[in-house]
């Protein structure tokens, strides 16, 4: 069993920082370019060159700085523009100082559907790099981590050059309050297709450094993540806010540089803890009933372990384990299960190092559940419990042998899939005895006739009933927790 100190340090790093990073990328991608093509008229308008400094605040306290630069740049005879982002965060996570940097560039043609990009996320020596090109809706890219390069190819839809392009709408006077638009695109960090929906809410005057600034308030939603941005007349970001207390606010260059270093960085993760009312939970509970409020309780997923009840109640019970004779999934009979045997850019289950280790761990064992238990035990014993604020990559975790819940979950998933055990990743809340609150957490689920939750971070072959799942799938699906961050409230009604 883990010591109390070890347990205390493994909660939620990847979940929260994933959305801090993605917020920076989304604002950078959707708003940094300003006007490109005027809607309906077809008139080409080059983006305004310049730079923007944004402070990153949590609860009003500065935790970092984002620097955005836009400038014209022609490539291969095509007029275009380049955007550069440098996002730096510094905070404390359960009393440990941590730093994170997201840096990259994106180039887009002005009138042709072409783009290229490169990003890197670095924290404490852990780095994931993403780069690629988009031509006529086809993205060709590669994800690099721990010396491994994973190619990615997918259709992402037309990015530029049409009347439904978001860049054509946001700064335009024609994008008036009440107007809506949507456009196809992609997440540059997870390299997954994503459709953005934009809606102009209202006109509003903000005061910036004592000066009133007329803005257009626009709400942008990608998946389940929603960001509200205040844009000036040129389409530049004056302020952007996520629903879980993270704000980007424009600073002057002098102020941004002068206050870039935070001498007493704030505590990051406990900001998002959920302190319940009602009965006090306990570790190793076999059943828990909670009433959910502050959000739509129907957004909470249900499966064999977690079921929705009446009156906004959710019932979590420890899984009875595998079915006696679990069916073997295949793409024909169980496509929704079989897809969780596939590898992706962050779960490199076909990497030779991953496959070799999986074979060593499971040895000659043929039973899927027995294989899952062997992998859970190995990951729990061999991965040092340390907070790492970065995008979790299985090969990077294997090389460093350290990480928090995200790293444990991603490595377990890669090893289990390499061993032929369908595995998906859950994100949600788990009870922390040390914090006396629910904290954000990630854990894997394996299919052994039914989906069974396991938790290699906490050393639980079958996860206890204080886990409350809010999203499931892959790393990219962790965006599902954005609906709940800072809003969900829990009343614990029963604990057994």
How far is residue 394's CA from residue 353's CA, in Å, rounded to a whole number? Answer: 10
| pLDDT tier, 452 (very low <50, low <70, confident <90, very high otherwise) | very high
Q: What pLDDT is stored for residue 163 in this prediction?
A: 33
- Average pLDDT, whole number, for the chain? 79
Q: What pLDDT is stored for residue 294 in this prediction?
A: 92
**In degrees to the nearest 10, what's the CA dihedral of 437, 439, 444, 449?**
40
SS3 65: strand
| pLDDT tier, 351 (very low <50, low <70, confident <90, very high otherwise) | very high
For 445, other C-beta atoms within 10 Å of its C-beta total: 28
Mean pLDDT of 35-42: 39
CA 104 to chain CA centroid, nearest Å: 17
| pLDDT tier, 331 (very low <50, low <70, confident <90, very high otherwise) | low
| pLDDT tier, 132 (very low <50, low <70, confident <90, very high otherwise) | confident
- Greater confidence (174 vs 437) lies with 437
Instruction: Please state which of the ranges 33-37, 128-132, 145-149, 456-460 shows the lowest mean pLDDT.
Output: 33-37
Name residue 116's beta-bridge partners: 107, 133
Residue 453 · residue 426 · CB < 8 Å: yes
109-123, 228-242, 459-473 — most confident range: 459-473
| pLDDT tier, 191 (very low <50, low <70, confident <90, very high otherwise) | low
Give the tens place of pLDDT for each residue, 135-179: 887 888 888 887 778 888 877 665 443 333 333 334 444 467 888
Mean pLDDT of 471-479: 81
For the chain, how far is it from start to end, CA to CA, in angstroms?
21
Half-sphere exposure of residue 106: CA atoms within 13 angstroms, side-chain side: 24
Q: What pLDDT is stored for residue 333 in this prediction?
A: 56
How far is residue 143's CA from residue 389's CA, in Å, rounded to a whole number? Answer: 18
How far is residue 360's CA from residue 5's CA, in Å, rounded to a whole number? Answer: 30
410: its two tokens: 């991603």
Compute the radius of gyration of the chain from its Cα atoms: 23
Give the tens place of pLDDT for each residue, 229-281: 888 877 778 888 876 667 888 888 887 777 655 556 666 666 778 999 999 99
How far is residue 176's CA from residue 184's CA, in Å, rounded to a whole number? Answer: 21
Distances (CA, A) of 346 to 145, 194, 427: 8, 18, 16
63: its two tokens: 């935790």
With b for 16 or more beta-carbon neighbours within 10 A and e for fewer, the 237-267 pattern comes to bbbbbbbbebbbbbbeeeebeeebebeebbe
- 44 has pLDDT over 60: no
DSSP per residue over 208-219, as a string? ETTEEEEEEEEE
How far is residue 306's CA from residue 301's CA, in Å, rounded to a whole number? Answer: 8
Q: What pLDDT is stored for residue 419 in this prediction?
A: 96
| pLDDT tier, 16 (very low <50, low <70, confident <90, very high otherwise) | low
What is the domain partition of the chain in residue ranges?
13-258, 273-495
What is the share, in percent, of the chain residues with pLDDT greater than 90? 31
34-38, 218-222, 386-390 — most confident range: 218-222
Q: What pLDDT is stored for residue 454 in this prediction?
A: 97
Instruction: Please state which of the ranges 13-22, 269-278, 359-368, 412-421 shows the lowest mean pLDDT.
Output: 13-22
Mean pLDDT of 344-366: 93
Residue 384 · residue 119 · CB < 8 Å: no
What is the share, in percent, of the chain residues with pLDDT greater than 70? 75
Q: What pLDDT is stored for residue 7 in this prediction?
A: 38
Question: Which distant-in-sequence residues (6+ apart) come within 8 Å of 68 by Cβ?
Answer: 28, 32, 51, 52, 53, 54, 83, 84, 85, 237
- 8 has pLDDT over 70: no
Residue 461 · residue 322 · CB < 8 Å: no
How far is residue 121's CA from residue 99's CA, in Å, rounded to a whole number? Answer: 11
| pLDDT tier, 375 (very low <50, low <70, confident <90, very high otherwise) | very high
pTM comes to: 0.80
DSSP per residue over 356-423, as a string? HHHHHHHTT---HHHHHHHHHHHHHHHSEE----S---HHHHHHH-EE-HHHHHHHHHHHHHHTT--E
How far is residue 299's CA from residue 411's CA, in Å, rounded to a whole number? Answer: 27
Residue 358 · residue 372 · CB < 8 Å: no
Distances (CA, A) of 445 to 33, 48, 372: 40, 48, 10
Distances (CA, A) of 402 to 380, 414, 417, 444, 488: 10, 15, 20, 17, 30
Sign of CA dihedral 462, 390, 84, 53: positive
How far is residue 127's CA from residue 134's CA, in Å, rounded to a whole number? Answer: 23
User: Which of 484, 38, 463 has the alpha carbon at shortest distance from 301?
Assistant: 484
Q: What pLDDT is stored for residue 139 in this prediction?
A: 81
Q: Which CATH number fits domain 273-495: 3.40.190.10, 3.40.50.300, 1.10.10.60, 3.10.620.30?
A: 3.10.620.30
Q: Tell me the backbone φ, ψ of residue 262, rounded to 5 degrees.
A: -90, 115
Give the tens place of pLDDT for each residue, 50-65: 888 888 887 777 888 8
Q: What pLDDT is stored for residue 173 in this prediction?
A: 46
Instruction: Please state which of the ranges 298-312, 381-395, 400-414 shows the lowest mean pLDDT.
Output: 381-395
- 384 has pLDDT over 80: yes
Residue 164 · residue 175 · CB < 8 Å: no
């Amino acid at each position: 069993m883990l010591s109390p100190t070890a347990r205390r340090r493994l909660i939620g790093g990847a979940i929260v920082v994933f959305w801090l990073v993605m917020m920076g990328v989304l604002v950078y991608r959707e708003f940094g370019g300003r006007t490109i093509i005027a809607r309906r008229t077809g008139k080409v308008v080059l983006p305004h060159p310049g730079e923007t400094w944004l402070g990153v605040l949590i609860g009003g306290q500065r935790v970092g700085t984002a620097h955005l630069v836009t400038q014209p740049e022609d490539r291969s005879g095509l007029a275009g523009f380049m955007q550069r982002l440098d996002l730096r965060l510094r905070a404390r996570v359960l009393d440990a100082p941590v730093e994170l940097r997201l840096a990259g560039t994106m180039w887009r043609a002005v009138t042709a559907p072409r783009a290229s990009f490169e990003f890197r996320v670095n924290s404490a020596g852990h780095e994931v790099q993403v780069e690629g090109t988009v031509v006529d809706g086809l993205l060709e890219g590669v994800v690099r981590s721990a010396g491994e390069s994973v190619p990615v190819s997918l259709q992402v839809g037309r990015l530029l050059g049409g009347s439904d392009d978001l860049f054509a709408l946001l700064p335009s006077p024609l994008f008036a309050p009440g107007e809506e638009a949507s456009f196809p695109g992609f997440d540059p960090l997870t390299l997954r297709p994503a459709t953005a929906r934009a809606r102009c809410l209202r006109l509003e005057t903000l005061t910036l450094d004592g000066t009133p600034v007329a803005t257009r308030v626009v709400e942008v939603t990608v998946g389940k993540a929603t960001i509200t941005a205040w844009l000036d007349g040129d389409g530049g970001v004056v302020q952007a806010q996520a629903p879980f207390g993270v704000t980007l606010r424009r600073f002057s260059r002098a102020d941004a540089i002068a206050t870039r270093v935070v001498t007493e960085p704030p505590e990051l993760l406990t900001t998002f803890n959920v302190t319940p009312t009602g009965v006090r939970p306990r570790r190793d509970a076999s059943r828990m009933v909670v009433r959910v409020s502050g959000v739509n309780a129907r957004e909470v997923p249900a499966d064999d372990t977690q079921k929705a009840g009446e009156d906004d109640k959710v019932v979590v019970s420890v899984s009875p384990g595998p079915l006696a004779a679990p069916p073997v999934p295949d793409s024909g009979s169980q496509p929704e299960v079989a897809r969780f045997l596939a590898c992706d850019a962050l779960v490199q289950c076909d990497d030779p190092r991953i496959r070799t280790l999986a074979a060593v761990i499971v040895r000659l064992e043929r039973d899927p559940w027995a294989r899952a238990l062997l992998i859970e035990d190995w990951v729990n014993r061999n991965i040092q419990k340390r907070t790492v604020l970065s995008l979790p990559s299985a090969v990077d975790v294997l090389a460093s042998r350290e990480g928090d819940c995200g790293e444990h979950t991603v490595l377990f998933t890669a090893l289990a899939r390499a061993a032929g055990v369908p595995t998906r990743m859950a994100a949600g809340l788990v009870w922390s005895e040390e914090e006396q609150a629910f904290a954000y957490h990630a854990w894997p689920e394996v299919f052994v006739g039914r989906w069974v939750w396991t938790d290699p971070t906490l050393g639980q072959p079958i996860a206890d009933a204080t886990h409350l799942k809010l999203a499931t799938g892959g790393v990219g699906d962790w965006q599902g927790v954005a609906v709940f961050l800072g809003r969900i409230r829990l009343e614990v009604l029963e604990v057994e």
